[in-house]
Chains A and B, each alone.
Chain A
C-alpha cells in the first residue's frame, strides 16, 4: 500500500496559477466528457476536463434504464434477430423523422462496440443466464435492445469511466464554472472559468474545446433533471456565435414521481409495469393499441396529460404506475433503484402499492448545432452529448438512446478534435487574458451591485412559465404570453443583486450566472416553438395538430444577430428511411 503520511496535506499545484494551457479542453465531466477525455489521453494529447461539479455528481449518474445496442443477446418475437439498421429505423421513426439519418446510422452501427467497450473497461452490466449482457424492451423499440445495469446504468457507466480517467492521471478542474468561451479571429481558443471554492477567475488556452455540459431541463419547474442542468454550455455557445438547433423539442417523460418529479425509469414498463387512471383503466390501450404502455415517451406523456385534463387522473394530477404483478423478486432484482426512490421520496413501496406518477421535463433533444463530427460552425468549438444536437434524436428521443449517444459521440467527437487540433495554429494567450479580465470586471460589477432585485423569485417564475406555456401542449396564444413573461423576467434580471458579496464559495453568484443563461435559453425555446407551426414528436401544437413535412421537415436554428435572437431553418439529412405516418 502506498504511503499516505501526508495525504491530507497534498494539494494540486495546478490550481494555483490563473492561466492554464492544454491541447484540448473538455467542458463537462459526465459520460460524454469523460469518454472524450480518455480518447484524448489515449492519443497522447494533453486534454483537461473542466466541470462545475465533481465528475461523479454529473447528471449522467442518474440515468436509470439503459443503453440501446443491437447485440441480439435476447431474441425478438418469433426468434427474429436484431440489427443496427432496425435500431436506426426505430430511432428515426421515434424522432418523427427529424433526426439526421447519417448521424443515426453512425450511432446505431457503433452501439454494440460501445456497450462491449464499457464492459471491457470493467462496467458491471446485468447478465442473462448464459452470461451475456442482458437486454430488455424499451419504448418505441422493435426488439429487446436495451442493455442495463439494474436500474443504475448511468451510475455504473459513470463510475467506470471515472476510474479509467483516474488511472490515466487526466487533469480535472473540479468545481470550475465556465464563464465564457474565448473567440479569437473567429476561432475558439479557450475559455474562462471561476474556481467556485476560491472565487479566482482562471483563463484556459486550448487548440480546441469540446462542450459536454448536458441539458437545460432546469428551466422547467417539473423536471427529472439534476439541479445543475441549467443549460450552461448552450448559453456559452450561443454567446460565442454558434447556433442552437431544434430547441423547441423538449422531452417530457411520462413517469416521474408525483411530488418531486424524480424519474421512474421506462424500464419499469419494459419489465411489464402498467399505467392506470383513477378508474383503474389501462388507458394506454386507447392511445397506442399495439405498443400500449411501451409506446414512445411523447405518446405516453400526451396520453397521461389528456387523462388528467379529462378528470380521469387522481386528485393533484397524477396516474398510477403499477408494478405489483411483477412480484417482489423481480422488482428487487431489476428495479431496486426506483423502488428505493419511491420509498424514500413518496413513501410508497412498489411491491405493495402502485406508484403515483405524472409527466415531467426530462431531456433536451435540441442543443448546440453540430455536424456528425461534433463540429459547430465556430472553428475550434465542438459539442457532444445532451448539450449538442447532431441530431440523433430529432423531435423525440427513444429511451436508451441518450446514454448511447454520450459514449459513442464522446469517443467519435474526440477523434475529430484530435484530428483537427493538430492542424490548428498556436492559440494566442493574450486573447484569453483579455477575456479573463472581462470576467473579473463582470464579477466585480455583479458583487458590487445594490439594486435589490431577487434572483430566486425570477428563477422560480421562469420555471413556472416554461412548464405552463411551453409544456406538453402548446398554442400560439399562451406561448405569446409566455414569451412576454420571459422578456419581462430578462428586464427584471438586470436589477438583481446579491447579498453575498464574497468571492469564495459564492453559490448565489453561480446561480446568478446560471440564471443569466437560462433566461436566454428560455427565449430560444420560446421563439423556436412559436415559429414551428406543426406538431411533431414532443412538440405538440393544439392549433397545428398535424405534422407538416412540406414546411417543417427542417431543423430550427436560433442565432443571435444584432443582439436579437433570430430563427432560421436548414433541411434534415434523410437517408435510408422515407418519412411515414408514425403509428404505435
Chain B
C-alpha cells in the first residue's frame, strides 16, 4: 500500500506530499503505517502518538479527508472504501491533492491549527479555549465528609460528555472553527455543558451564560461534523442545542447572535 503524507517544516518554501510504499500487514493501522515509515524509510517524519489504543487523543489527523485517530483507523478498511464519513463541507476538505483511495491512504494534519511539522499541529489554541471556559468543577456547597450522592441516571447523562478525550478531531472538522477564530469549538463547549448538567454543581444558568455570546453557543451552525468524527460518541451538537434552547426559554438569548 501507499501512504501519501503531508510534509512541512521550518525552512521549507512550501508544503509538499511524500508518497511512501510500505508492506501492508494484517490489522495495520494508519499509526502503525506511519511508524513503519519513520522506522524504515524516513526518520524525519513527525507525528504525535502515545497510547495506540484510542484513549489518549494524541493522534487525531486528517485521514482521507476525515479527522480521525490514526491508531484506531485500519488501513485495510480505508482501502476497501469502508469507514467513509460524509461531512458538511468546508474549505480544508477540498480535494486540493489527488490520491487513489483504492491504493493510497492520504494523511494530513488536523485542520484549523497551525502546523509545527508534518502531522504535528500546535494545539495551544484548542487547549486555551477549554481553559478559558473554566472547565473545572465548582460546587456551590461545602465538601461533605464523604462523597456527594448522584443518581446513576445523572452519571449516564454526564458520561456522554466526560468521555471526551480532547483529541480535537471535532475542532478540526468544524466549519465554524474554520472561519471564526473566536469560536471555542465543539469539545470546549461540550465540556462546559457537562458542568451545566452536573447535579452536584447547582449553578443554575451561570455555566450557560459563560458562553452566551454570538461567538459562543450561538456561533454553531449545526453542521454536526463534530458528532460524526468523534471516536467516543460524544455529541457536542446536542449539548449546544440544549444550551441554546435553555437560554432562549429563559429569555437570555442575546439580541445579536449572528444566528439567522
Say what secondary structure dominates the interface of chain B.
loop
Q: Which of B58, B116, B163 contacts A152 (CB 8 A)?
A: B163
Asked if A416 is an interface residue, CB under 8 A from chain B, the answer is no
Query: Which A residues touch B130, using CB under 8 A?
Result: 166
Asked if A19 is an interface residue, CB under 8 A from chain B, the answer is no
Q: Which of B10, B128, B151, B163 contacts A127 (CB 8 A)?
A: B151
Is A166 a contact partner of B131 (Cβ separation < 8 A)?
yes
Q: Which of B46, B182, B210 contacts A507 (CB 8 A)?
A: B46
Query: Which A residues touch B129, using CB under 8 A?
Result: 4, 7
Q: A119-B148, A130-B149, A150-B159 are contacts. A1–B51 as well, Cβ < 8 Å?
A: no
Is B135 a contact partner of A163 (Cβ separation < 8 A)?
yes
Measured between alpha carbons, how far is A568 from B151 in the docked complex, in Å?
53
Is A122 a contact partner of B137 (Cβ separation < 8 A)?
yes
Q: Which residue of B lies closest to A5 (CB)?
A: B182
A41 to chain B, nearest CB (A): 13
1/0 per residue, CB under 8 A from B, across A242-276: the answer is 00000000000000000110110000000000000
Measured between alpha carbons, how far is A130 from B57 in the docked complex, in Å?
34
Measured between alpha carbons, how far is A149 from B43 in the docked complex, in Å?
39
Measured between alpha carbons, how far is A262 from B50 in the docked complex, in Å?
13
Measured between alpha carbons, how far is A262 from B29 in the docked complex, in Å?
14
Query: Which B residues touch A129, using CB under 8 A?
Result: 152
Query: Which A residues touch B155, using CB under 8 A?
Result: 124-127
Asked if B94 is an interface residue, CB under 8 A from chain A, the answer is no
Asked if A54 is an interface residue, CB under 8 A from chain B, the answer is yes
1/0 per residue, CB under 8 A from B, across A148-169: the answer is 0110100110011001101100
Measured between alpha carbons, how far is A124 from B160 in the docked complex, in Å?
11
Asked if A536 is an interface residue, CB under 8 A from chain B, the answer is no
Of residues B50, B165, B200, which shows the largest number of chain A Cβ atoms within 10 Å of its Cβ?
A: B50
Asked if B49 is an interface residue, CB under 8 A from chain A, the answer is yes
Is B58 a contact partner of A1 (Cβ separation < 8 A)?
no
Q: A7-B181, A62-B51, A504-B10 are contacts. A160–B137 as well, Cβ < 8 Å?
A: yes
Measured between alpha carbons, how far is A280 from B38 in the docked complex, in Å?
42
Measured between alpha carbons, how far is A542 from B58 in the docked complex, in Å?
41
Asked if B238 is an interface residue, CB under 8 A from chain A, the answer is no
Is B147 a contact partner of A1 (Cβ separation < 8 A)?
no
Query: Which A residues touch B158, using CB under 8 A?
Result: 124
Is A132 a contact partner of B149 (Cβ separation < 8 A)?
yes
Is A124 a contact partner of B149 (Cβ separation < 8 A)?
no
Interface hits, B142-199 → A, CB 8 Å = 143, 145-152, 155, 158-159, 162-163, 165-166, 181-182, 184, 198
A71 to chain B, nearest CB (A): 8
Inter-chain CB contacts under 8 Å: number: 179
Say what secondary structure dominates the interface of chain A.
loop
Q: Which residue of B lies closest to A224 (CB)?
A: B53
Query: Which A residues touch B72, using CB under 8 A?
Result: 344-345
Stretch in contact with the other chain, from B101-109, B119-127, B220-228: B119-127
Is B55 a contact partner of A62 (Cβ separation < 8 A)?
yes
Is A57 a contact partner of B128 (Cβ separation < 8 A)?
no
Interface hits, B203-220 → A, CB 8 Å = 210-213, 215-216
Is B117 a contact partner of A62 (Cβ separation < 8 A)?
no
A169 to chain B, nearest CB (A): 9
A267 to chain B, nearest CB (A): 15
Measured between alpha carbons, how far is A129 from B152 in the docked complex, in Å?
6
B40 to chain A, nearest CB (A): 7
Is A197 a contact partner of B27 (Cβ separation < 8 A)?
no
Q: Which residue of B lies closest to A11 (CB)?
A: B124
Is B166 a contact partner of A56 (Cβ separation < 8 A)?
yes
Q: Which of B133, B139, B146 contacts A116 (CB 8 A)?
A: B146
Asked if B136 is an interface residue, CB under 8 A from chain A, the answer is yes
Q: Which of A130, A149, A227, A505 contacts B52 (CB 8 A)?
A: A227
Measured between alpha carbons, how far is A497 from B215 in the docked complex, in Å?
50
Query: Which A residues touch B123, using CB under 8 A?
Result: 54
Asked if B22 is an interface residue, CB under 8 A from chain A, the answer is no
Asked if A531 is an interface residue, CB under 8 A from chain B, the answer is no
Measured between alpha carbons, how far is A197 from B117 in the docked complex, in Å?
9
12 A-B residue pairings within 8 Å (CB atoms) = A10-B124, A11-B124, A54-B127, A61-B56, A61-B165, A122-B137, A124-B155, A125-B147, A227-B49, A504-B9, A505-B116, A507-B43
Nearest first, the 4 closest Cβ-Cβ pairs linking A and B are: A122-B137, A131-B149, A508-B43, A456-B39
Binding site for B on A (CB under 8 A): 1-5, 7-8, 10-12, 53-54, 56-59, 61-62, 115-116, 119-122, 124-133, 149-150, 152, 155-156, 159-160, 163-164, 166-167, 197, 226-228, 259-260, 262-263, 337, 340-341, 344-345, 455-456, 498-500, 502, 504-508
Name 4 extra pairs, CB < 8 A, besides A1-B133, A4-B182: A56-B165, A61-B51, A502-B9, A505-B118
